[in-house]
Structure 1
Amino acid sequence: MKMDIRKVLLFTFLLISTVSFGQSFTGQQINQGYAIFSDDVTFIFDEKIYDKHPTQVTVTGSFRGWSSDMDDSQWQLKKIGGQWILTLNNKDFEVISPQAEFKFRINDGEWLSPASVSPNQKGGNLVFMQDAVLPGLKAELKSENLIWADVVGDRPLNPSDYIITSAAGDTIKVAGVLPNGSTTTLITPETPLNKKRVYYLHIPSQELSALCSFDGWFRETFSTKELGANIDNGKTTVRLFAPRATMVKLYLYKGKDDKKAYETIEMKEDINGVWEAFFDKDLHGVWYDFTIHGHKDPGNLFYETTNVHVSDPYARVSDDTWGKCRIWHRTVPATPLAQGIPAMEDVIAYEVHVQDFTDNLPVDESIKGRLPAMHKAGLKNKKGEKIGFDYLVDLGINTVHLMPIQEYIHYPTDDWKASFKDDEYMISQGVSEENYQWGYRTSHAMAVETRYRSLGKEAGEERNEFRDLVQAFHDKDIAVIIDIVPNHTAENMDGNSWIFNFNGIDKQYYYRTKDLEHIGDYGNEVKTENRPMTQRWLIDQCQYYIKEFGIDGFRIDLAGQVDQQTLIALKNAIGEDKIVYGEPWIGSNDPEFEANPDWDWYKEDSPITFFQDDSRGAYKGPVFKLTDRATDRGWAGGKFDERAAVMRGLENSNKEDKTPNSGITYLDIHDNFALSDQFGGEKFDGRTSVDQDNYKIAVTLLYTSLGPIVTNGGSEIMRSKADAPLKEVVKTTNKGYKVYMHGYRDTYNHRTANQYKWETVGQMPKEGNTNDYKNMYKFWKGMNEFRLSEYGKVFRTGGEVAEGYYQFITPKEDNLLGYIVDNKVFVLLNSGEKEGSFNDITLPEGNWKLIANTNEVNIKKGVKDKKSMMKLKGGQTTSFTLPSTSLMIWVKQ
């Protein structure tokens, strides 16, 4: 039951007497994490209910853009006894609005889920004034003759109490008002409106005004026609969806750099806002763009305001994002995997960036850093070790997860090189010659990244090169999935505002906006809810990469910003056999999205497999800051109070896990610190001295977890990012583009730090570098073989398992952990610095073979250790002593 805001404030004020160092809080206020005192709000972090004793506490949430800055003093709580307190003035809810979501963060950046007793939980966050209702007005333009309004508070029903104004300043009287529900209201104007224009609805007596959003007719505008430029049977069709355009012109050019089109066509609009042009000829290779014409209202970026041509969001070929696109034939896809796509529970994914993987390969300069180098066979380093494609095949993974290969923005090369050719920092990071990027800034979702095309080949040939890459992996029975970025686009990155396509076609349709302007932590947020054609764009790109390239699934970047219904529709459209997983965290900055349970989702109601960060944190520690070896490397590295969380991670019994396939388990991924740096000694620098035994214990936890797993490419050879100094650097190009460099905590634009150092393959410890790269690769390869073997089937299960599937052995020393899995696999781990004992263990009947220890994994021959431990007889009670920082795995034969 919802409560009037005035009653909420009065009730809260009566409960609390005074705000002082001696203040006390009610149990409800402590549990919900805040208290209200007149115009002030006090955040409360209680150590008892969280069972945490931190050294630092901050609060973050939608009201500060979910900032991860722990050093901003205005959001730091102060300790008073067993509580941490922060009081802010919140008059008229100018800082924290009702229904705002928030979270506490502690120590070096650990995100805390709400306490179990918190009554105001939603999607893994706490909610401020969850049940409060403020007087307000919302309005939707439904048609030329109808506005659909939501009036909260005292609602007048007299038409004279309402006024409609246009963005041009015209006033339109209201002819009729009728209630629909308790707040929903139908408003009829005296004269028809132009639904492509901007209007406002006002209730002057209550000082309420609202923009008439376009949701009313946008949510019902849909077409199934194929969009983009398509060639079939020698004829070409070009279609573009632009519902508020008053005219769309299509321009055809013979060359990319032509200033003048050889033909200009005024396209025709159908009843659903799709603009079309038809040609009785094959226009393969022709360059094209559009002008989108419309009213010069606030928030519009049509040609009349910008004088800018736009490109096709469905274009098959975009040559480096800027400028015209190219019409191209459909691509013939790679043949499917002979054995079918791996089931989700069987997935061992290997995340890899094309340029990082291929930059240092001994290949021709024309393909360095490019698609063909990714699958070039027969390459070896100076030690004679396989590298590149053969190396990856030998590693034994079954799924290659490619970081973004859809066309993404790079800053123009001429400006970039002129700006940084003599900059020592940029030279040291390998980025003085080009704007290197990971690619999480898609500009054209249907086009393959231009800079991955072989030098000297014409624009469009990258499509066949990508298809050939997929085919090469398919021929080795390895699935290929791609990383898609549907949550934000390149048009508003790094504080810039460009018009490539969506902004100029109709910013109000494709993006979430507030007061007609962009919202979002990454410059903009793509709007899939209430926008069926944006839903289509997301689904179309996935179907398209399956149909034209033969790929096997998707990792969805910041999937938590894509509404739940769209993700359900996506999975249905592409087929249940496809691999799909993504990030559940970081929701929308649109409160309507967050407040709608049909759109907003989190791990407990995830429509896709999500990244299981709870397991990651327990296994190897936090990801944002590294300061203390004892606390920042998880259970494997010395934080022994994480043992219970490790056990939950192994059996996928975290509170949101419904089945082992609910979450995908991982240790590190492209974001944040590399695993080798997390275990990189006192200085967290993995270039020369990784704590390899702790590292292997973390790997063992990963590989003995239920359900799918994903690994960060290069971790198998302890790839470090520490070549990027851990400091914040801001650069500006000559044209004024900002460049933010974060060092090795986030190397998205550091080229050198991300490159594979192929000379380390096969390298053993030497003077100045104690890392045994050869042994680590062999260990990791053995783990892959183990997990995909008959023995490893105990972990590759997607359904619920019986109680006791994992039989845990927990000595009183919490640095020790053992487990018997499905009576077939037996694991012992000691992550401490002293030897530890496991006493009186009775294994199930049968013969048990030792197949792994801290030195090696060998499922065929087994591994050598103390004779008494190499082979065990089940049914007998045995005790074990494990050396410090060590592991052992037996299997029942």
Structure 2
Amino acid sequence: MRTLSMSLAILLCTFATNVFAQSFTGPQKTQGYADFGDKITFIFDEALYGIKPQEKVTVTGEFRGWDADMDNQEWQLKKTGEAWMLTIDNADFGKIKPNTEFKFRVDDGAWIDPADGIDNVRNGNLVFMIERITKSLRAELRSDRLIWAEIQGDRVLVPSEYKIFDSKGKEIKVAGVLPNESRSTLIVPAEELDKRRVYYLEIPALGLRAECSYDGWFRELYSTKELGANIDNDTTAIRIFSPRADLVKLYLYKGRYDENAYETIEMAQDKDGVWETIIPENLHGIYYDFTVHGAVEKGNNFYESIPVHISDPYTRVSDNTFGKGRIWERTTPASPLKNGIPAMEDVISYEVHVQDFTDQLPVSDDIKGRFPAMIKSGLKNDRGEKIGFDYLVDLGINTVHLMPVQEYLHFPDEDWKASFKDDPYMIEQGISEENYQWGYRTSHAFAVESKYRTKGKEPGEERDEFRDLVQAFHDKDIAVIIDIVPNHTHEDMASKTFYHHFNVLDKQYYYRTKDYEHIGAYGNEVKTEDRPMTQRWLIEQCQYYINEFGIDGFRIDLAGQIDEQTLKALKDALGHDKIIYGEAWIASNDPNYENNPDWDWYKEDAPITFFQDDSRGAYKGPVFELKDKAKHRGWAGGKFDERDNVMLGLAAKFKDDKTPNSGITYLDIHDNFALADQFGSKDFDGRYGVDQDEYKIATTLMYTTLGPIVTHGGSEIMRSKAHAPLMEVEKETKEGYKVYMHGFRDSYNHRIANQFVWSQVGQKPQEGNTNDYANMHAYWKGMNEFRLSEYGEVFRVADAVSDDYYQFFTPESTTMLGYLVDEKVFVLLNAGQEAGTFENITLPEGKWKLIANTKEIDHKKGIRDSKDKMKLKTGQAINIDVEPTSVYIWVKQ
């Protein structure tokens, strides 16, 4: 029991729930909850947030794993007066623990940010009992003669009150205890410890026991030696980092499938935990692996516990993840862009997956789905339209954003085929013969994805093919960035544990753990804080792709799980001309990380450009569910109460936008539903019909927003993913690999659903398909050209603008919005189904050219509307009539 008796708690909760919202105090409503001993009442106050939910309010947070299900009645609030409330049992903090983050969601799934001035806020979330201090103990091994402890509670300073135990239960007496700060305490054992081993510290009087983490010496353990296998002057140096190993053996092989090594070498360890050997030969093409030996203890996966050979996490060549690495000479990078990397505010990025883009190209089977197909010029479809590389160059973007190209996990082909060759669902989705993946489970960060090399070529030749891809785009003055996935690795995914490198070298060093086991929503979390060599691994893989391939920047997956200081160091190490953006959301599962403001970050203190989901939600709606067109397609699709947020997005004036470069604007991306399906005319299926005028309004909003933008490859031709049915499917291979299929809400492992359908380029509406692919393609191409023109300079600004930089015109009907940008570009939008009028608009004097309407865009020649209805008069107040679901853009000449 906590502070109140059970009967009193129930009485108070019943009273609060059944009277009205005013029975709660102002602070309770402000903080979002009231705590009544063994119960907690969540409170969503409409007046505080200025929002009147129509259907439902739910609460989610760490206690639900941030579950986004709006229909789970257990977490739905009930309306009482002007507040919505939910009371739950929370005896002994069984469900909601102190310092737990939570957030409210309303109606269609909109995430509600905390109101201004609230004290219990962290990471953009509300926090339950943010000031609560509970008894706790953290202990760190600093050396063989020293443990540091952080104690919350009534600390004692008598050695006999402390006990140290090793992993076998043997007690080591404590010789001395001295305080440092109010909570930090020095513990001196009576005998020497082995800092590589497992120890526990206990304070029996406080009922506290903690594992002695290795953080104390790990955070100071660092080497500048070049890791991996590197050839210089006909000498091969091989180094690998494993600080707690007793022995590392290197094995050299002539062939990929050789069972016996032609040479075995016991490596030497230096004082910084690096094992190395120098061989006076050029070993280019030789295969290699290791065994790592050490104590059999909880949390260790050394050879004595798990008798496996491991590969080098720094290997330049990994042939399909499993097995040996291959020693390879450095690659000569592509030459740089002749006009330099685009400034962040100039970026129009195009996210694309190599296999999706090339699967249906008319190329030979040996390169289909692979690097060479992506840069093959001269390809056309049956209509004679450019497709593939020429299509992408012609589209007018200035940055190609490649989804993962670092070696990533595919489940073994033979097992996969044997398991699914006759499975109707897998056959229909195009995945009965291979484990297709987007690639968000990196296995070897320094190796280029081996499945992308030409069939029949030797492992390692994919490196030159990737470099050639970068060069081909550079020759067309298009930057290339790659999507890196450093937040988790493949070693613990899909209910399967692999012992390929980090799990063996030292799981406790490379990963965030609890009780020596992995934590993380995606199987594991790589630990960059307190781990200089993991920081190095992240920074060096980025430097490596620049130095050996010539790429121009990075999109960082789940960047919010990489600590703020590491990301700052990354930007400094790479140079601030590089393009870097990533996801701020998805918090770490490690409370020590989350509670450290120097590590944890969110949009308000983002060290890199973040995906601006606030503008995305306002422009085109939520990403987790599609049920109601009027609510789930943003302002452009009918949720007209989003107009104020649309204006904030356009001018980069959301509370977290310090400058237009703080966030990168987008509509859709590989995750979640495709834009064509969100605007699908029937049942959110864009394959046969898209509400194209609304689609173009959303597109126009994105292209007339300040700062960088990123587009989802194929959105310009209304690429649908609805071939993957919206249903949850679970499969398992014969060898026990679990496979989870989510349909077109998350099509990461559906091959056919993700393919570019090149026959649609140039296609006009036809029987059974009302989509005008040709027109939409031309519209996006025109938008790219407009944005990168001299007129588009008004949007490509790096610094925060004044409040009158965008002059907004807001008729009484929230279906309409107009804006004059820097007195040079004038936009009128009507997202409603009825014609409307913008009244009393006065434009700066000069000649204004209409360059776009809902049908076309041409910033060079301009466009003519019938009877010159849209010809503007300047210097006087005018009324402008607009058609339903329409777009108009003028520029001042």
TM-score w.r.t. the length of structure 2 is: 0.98
Summarize the alignment of residues 178-217 of structure 1 with structure 2, pairs less than 5 Å apart.
178-217=178-217
Task: Find the counterpart in structure 1 of residue 43 from structure 2.
Answer: 44
Runs (4+) of structure 1 exceeding 6 A deviation are: 13-16
Aligned partner of 1:19: which letter?
A: T
Aligned partner of 1:606: which letter?
A: A
Aligned partner of 1:199: which letter?
A: Y
Tell me how far 1:72 sits from its aligned partner: 3.7
Aligned partner of 2:14: which letter?
A: V
Tell me how far 1:870 sits from its aligned partner: 5.2
Q: Is the Cα contact below 8 Å between 1:16 and 1:37 reproduced in 2?
A: no
- Cα distance in 2 for partners of 1:841, 1:526 equals 55
Aligned partner of 1:40: which letter?
A: K
Change (3 A) 1:814 1:70: closer
Task: Find the counterpart in structure 2 of residue 162 from structure 1.
Answer: 162
Q: Is the Cα contact below 8 Å between 1:172 and 1:189 reproduced in 2?
A: yes
Tell me how far 1:18 sits from its aligned partner: 4.2
Aligned partner of 1:339: which letter?
A: N
Q: Is the Cα contact below 8 Å between 1:481 and 1:552 reproduced in 2?
A: yes
Task: Find the counterpart in structure 1 of residue 575 from structure 2.
Answer: 575
- Cα distance in 2 for partners of 1:419, 1:294 equals 37
Which secondary structure state, in structure 1, belongs to the residue aligned with residue 682 of structure 2? helix
CA deviation map 1:521-558 (0-9, x unaligned): 00000000000100000000000000000000000001
Which secondary structure state, in structure 2, belongs to the residue aligned with residue 636 of structure 1? helix
- Cα distance in 2 for partners of 1:158, 1:54 equals 61
Tell me how far 1:38 sits from its aligned partner: 1.5
- Cα distance in 1 for partners of 2:811, 2:218 equals 61
Summarize the alignment of residues 258-337 of structure 1 with structure 2, pairs less than 5 Å apart.
258-337=258-337
Q: Is the Cα contact below 8 Å between 2:2 and 2:37 reproduced in 1?
A: no
Moved more, 67-76 or 883-892: 67-76
Which secondary structure state, in structure 2, belongs to the residue aligned with residue 546 of structure 1? helix
CA deviation map 1:197-239 (0-9, x unaligned): 0100001122111111110000000111111000011100001
Moved more, 864-873 or 455-464: 864-873
Q: Is the Cα contact below 8 Å between 2:53 and 2:106 reproduced in 1?
A: no
- Cα distance in 2 for partners of 1:109, 1:663 equals 22
Moved more, 201-210 or 60-69: 60-69
Which secondary structure state, in structure 1, belongs to the residue aligned with residue 586 of structure 2? coil
- Cα distance in 2 for partners of 1:73, 1:84 equals 14
Aligned partner of 1:41: which letter?
A: I
CA deviation map 1:621-669 (0-9, x unaligned): 0110001111111111111111110000000000100000000000000
Which secondary structure state, in structure 1, belongs to the residue aligned with residue 690 of structure 2? coil
Tell me how far 1:25 sits from its aligned partner: 2.1
- Cα distance in 1 for partners of 2:69, 2:223 equals 44
Task: Find the counterpart in structure 2 of residue 560 from structure 1.
Answer: 560
Unpaired runs of at least 5, structure 2: none
Aligned partner of 2:33: which letter?
A: Y
- Cα distance in 2 for partners of 1:14, 1:91 equals 10
Tell me how far 1:445 sits from its aligned partner: 0.4
Change (3 A) 1:64 1:302: farther
Task: Find the counterpart in structure 1 of residue 447 from structure 2.
Answer: 447
Task: Find the counterpart in structure 1 of residue 669 from structure 2.
Answer: 669
Q: Is the Cα contact below 8 Å between 1:847 and 1:871 reproduced in 2?
A: no
Aligned partner of 1:22: which letter?
A: N
Which secondary structure state, in structure 2, belongs to the residue aligned with residue 490 of structure 1? coil
Aligned partner of 1:436: which letter?
A: Y
- Cα distance in 1 for partners of 2:501, 2:106 equals 41
Summarize the alignment of residues 50-129 of structure 1 with structure 2, pairs less than 5 Å apart.
50=49, 51-129=51-129
Task: Find the counterpart in structure 2 of residue 22 from structure 1.
Answer: 18
Task: Find the counterpart in structure 2 of residue 33 from structure 1.
Answer: 32
Tell me how far 1:296 sits from its aligned partner: 1.0
Q: Is the Cα contact below 8 Å between 2:141 and 2:213 reproduced in 1?
A: yes
Tell me how far 1:869 sits from its aligned partner: 4.2
Tell me how far 1:574 sits from its aligned partner: 0.2
Q: Is the Cα contact below 8 Å between 2:385 and 2:762 reproduced in 1?
A: yes
Change (3 A) 1:15 1:30: farther
Q: Is the Cα contact below 8 Å between 2:380 and 2:386 reproduced in 1?
A: yes
Task: Find the counterpart in structure 2 of residue 646 from structure 1.
Answer: 646
Q: Find out whether 1:386 has 2:386 as its counterpart.
A: yes
CA deviation map 1:33-76 (0-9, x unaligned): 12211222222223332313142333222223222233444333
CA deviation map 1:250-290 (0-9, x unaligned): 11111111111111111101110011011000111111111
Change (3 A) 1:146 1:466: same
CA deviation map 1:791-821 (0-9, x unaligned): 0000000112233100101111111111110
Q: Find out whether 1:245 has 2:241 as its counterpart.
A: no
> Percent identity among equivalent residues?
68
Moved more, 745-754 or 27-36: 27-36
Task: Find the counterpart in structure 1 of residue 744 from structure 2.
Answer: 744
Aligned partner of 2:36: which letter?
A: F
CA deviation map 1:150-199 (0-9, x unaligned): 11111111100000001121110000000101111000000011000010
- Cα distance in 1 for partners of 2:840, 2:106 equals 40
CA deviation map 1:59-104 (0-9, x unaligned): 2222232222334443333344443333333233232221111112
Which secondary structure state, in structure 1, belongs to the residue aligned with residue 856 of structure 2? coil
- Cα distance in 1 for partners of 2:194, 2:90 equals 39
Tell me how far 1:495 sits from its aligned partner: 1.6
Which secondary structure state, in structure 1, belongs to the residue aligned with residue 173 of structure 2? strand
CA deviation map 1:435-464 (0-9, x unaligned): 000000001001111111110001000000
- Cα distance in 1 for partners of 2:108, 2:398 equals 35
CA deviation map 1:831-879 (0-9, x unaligned): 0000010112111111000001101011111111034345434323321
Q: Provide the alpha-carbon RMSD of the alignment.
A: 1.6
- Cα distance in 1 for partners of 2:233, 2:396 equals 43
Which secondary structure state, in structure 1, belongs to the residue aligned with residue 701 of structure 2? helix
- Cα distance in 1 for partners of 2:108, 2:251 equals 54
Which secondary structure state, in structure 1, belongs to the residue aligned with residue 304 of structure 2? helix
Which secondary structure state, in structure 1, belongs to the residue aligned with residue 548 of structure 2? helix
Aligned partner of 2:404: which letter?
A: P
Tell me how far 1:414 sits from its aligned partner: 0.4
- Cα distance in 1 for partners of 2:892, 2:85 equals 55
Moved more, 221-230 or 41-50: 41-50
Change (3 A) 1:192 1:140: same
Q: Is the Cα contact below 8 Å between 2:10 and 2:39 reproduced in 1?
A: no
Task: Find the counterpart in structure 2 of residue 144 from structure 1.
Answer: 144
Q: Is the Cα contact below 8 Å between 1:247 and 1:266 reproduced in 2?
A: yes
- Cα distance in 1 for partners of 2:264, 2:93 equals 53
Tell me how far 1:617 sits from its aligned partner: 0.4
Moved more, 57-66 or 597-606: 57-66
- Cα distance in 2 for partners of 1:331, 1:42 equals 60
Q: Is the Cα contact below 8 Å between 1:863 and 1:870 reproduced in 2?
A: no
Q: Is the Cα contact below 8 Å between 2:619 and 2:636 reproduced in 1?
A: yes
Task: Find the counterpart in structure 2 of residue 828 from structure 1.
Answer: 828
Task: Find the counterpart in structure 1 of residue 421 from structure 2.
Answer: 421
Q: Is the Cα contact below 8 Å between 2:13 and 2:39 reproduced in 1?
A: no
Change (3 A) 1:492 1:773: same
Which secondary structure state, in structure 1, belongs to the residue aligned with residue 555 of structure 2? strand
Q: Is the Cα contact below 8 Å between 2:9 and 2:39 reproduced in 1?
A: no
CA deviation map 1:93-143 (0-9, x unaligned): 232221111112233432221233532111111111101100111111111
- Cα distance in 1 for partners of 2:733, 2:332 equals 40
TM-score w.r.t. the length of structure 1 is: 0.98
Tell me how far 1:587 sits from its aligned partner: 1.0
- Cα distance in 2 for partners of 1:736, 1:785 equals 50
Which secondary structure state, in structure 1, belongs to the residue aligned with residue 251 of structure 2? strand
Change (3 A) 1:764 1:213: same
Which secondary structure state, in structure 2, belongs to the residue aligned with residue 618 of structure 1? helix
CA deviation map 1:366-402 (0-9, x unaligned): 0000000011000000000000000000000000000
Q: Find out whether 1:605 has 2:608 as its counterpart.
A: no
Q: Is the Cα contact below 8 Å between 1:629 and 1:682 reproduced in 2?
A: no
* Alignment coverage as a number of residue pairs: 887
Q: Is the Cα contact below 8 Å between 1:138 and 1:212 reproduced in 2?
A: yes
